[in-house]
Amino acid sequence: METISFYRYAQIADPEKLRDTLKKGGEQKNILGRILVGREGINGAVSGRKEDIQLFQEELRQEFKGLTFREQNVSQNSYHKLVVRVRKEICVFGKETNVKNTGKHLPAKELERWYKEGKSFTIVDARNDYEYDVGHFKGAVKLPINSFREFPEVAPRLLADKKKETLVLYCTGGVRCEKASAYLQEQGFADVYQVDGGIISYLNQFSTNWEGGLFVFDDRLVEESCSPLNSCCFCGEKTDIIHNCFNVDCDKLFIACADCLKKMNKTCSERCKASPRQRKVEEKKEIVGKVLNYYPQMKIAAVQFKRDVADHETITFKGKTTFFSQNIGKTKVDEEGVATFFVKEKVRKNDRILLSQSNEF
């Protein structure tokens, strides 16, 4: 499995048309993720099988020549659905800025050399404060912001005494730094760089000057890290696992080890644990096969399974107009490994078959 992120600031005449094209292409390839399209460009991250991701990348390159990707190998899909939406801003900043005036791109290899040689520069985390807490570059300046929209107000004020210094901005994949670095230059900062490809690009090549884990905006929340940077807020054990409080009225991000998280029912405090408004647990489902054919008179489905599935297990059929669950029951398997069995509702060719996975810690 692979997760990729990408962005491009470019004039898009018909965002709605591009949205529909990407949605259709993603669904055909079982791609899951989140893509934002606007007149100012595209910003997205998707996950799927490597061969499907490669096909999707080629389609994106046809729309955006020279588009680059930040790539991460993952053990399972990082998203649980595909969302493609049109937005006024593909990265919400709240201030007008000219991204053609963006800061100079600093390759990961060059940043590593700067650290090694002791070059004089100030490295600034352009992300939210909770992302910094999970992990950051050595010596990085933390900005007290909870959303990128706050950057234009906070950053110029806190960095005012560094207008003549060399500044290096960084974010997860680079999309935020395009606007952030351009804005700082417009505010009179003389020598502004941004880490080319963001943290993901750096960590794909180096780890020397990175401390902790990497917060990501998908189902993982934290990517695999070099070493735990933080401590569990309950027991103090070193961990880099970050969670959303299951109290709907709180939704706070907090760091906790697996044992304490289980004891606290995934909430950040005793008060939240006692709250009646708890987030519903979404059961993770593994894709174990697909429908090859359906015989309506006999209500029999012909299915290709990716692995052995026991008769007593509950499977879910999911497609554009299909969604129901049942026990498999008795099956017949031919020489080519195609299984046939009774289904209680109509299924369609290429409907996916999902199997519930345990969500225990």
235-288 confidence digits (pLDDT tens):
988 776 677 889 988 878 788 888 899 899 999 999 999 999 888 765 567 788
Domains 2-86 and 285-356 share a fold: no
Identify which has the larger pLDDT, 139 or 330. Answer: 139
Residue 357 pLDDT > 60: no
Task: Give the Cα separation of 278 and 250 in Å (integer).
Answer: 10
pTM for the complete prediction?
A: 0.68
User: Which of these is catalytic: 91, 171, 245, 257?
Assistant: 171
Please state the separation of Cα 61 from the chain's center in Å: 20
| Confidence label for 225 from pLDDT (cuts 50, 70 and 90) | very low
Residue among 166, 146, 144, 162 nearest 154 (CA): 144
Tens digits of residue pLDDT in 7-62: 999 999 999 999 999 999 999 999 999 999 999 999 999 999 999 999 999 999 99
Closest to 202 measured CA to CA, from 251, 169, 159, 228 = 169
Give, in degrees to the nearest 5, the angle at Cα 24 between 23 and 29: 100
171 an active-site residue?
yes
According to CATH, the superfamily of the domain at 99-203 is Rhodanese-like domain (3.40.250.10)
Burial class (CB in 10 A: 0-12, 13-18, 19+), 276: exposed
* Domain ranges for the chain: 2-86, 99-203, 285-356
- For 158-181, how does the pLDDT look when each residue is reduced to its tens digit (9 = 90+)? 999 999 999 999 999 999 999 999
Phi-psi domain of 337 (left: phi exceeds 0; alpha: psi -120 through 50; beta: other): left
d(CA 240, CA 349): 43
User: Interior CA angle at 143 toward 163 and 269, to 5°?
Assistant: 175
Q: Check: CATH 2.40.30.10 for 285-356?
A: yes
Domain covering 2-86 assigned CATH 3.40.50.170 in the classification = no
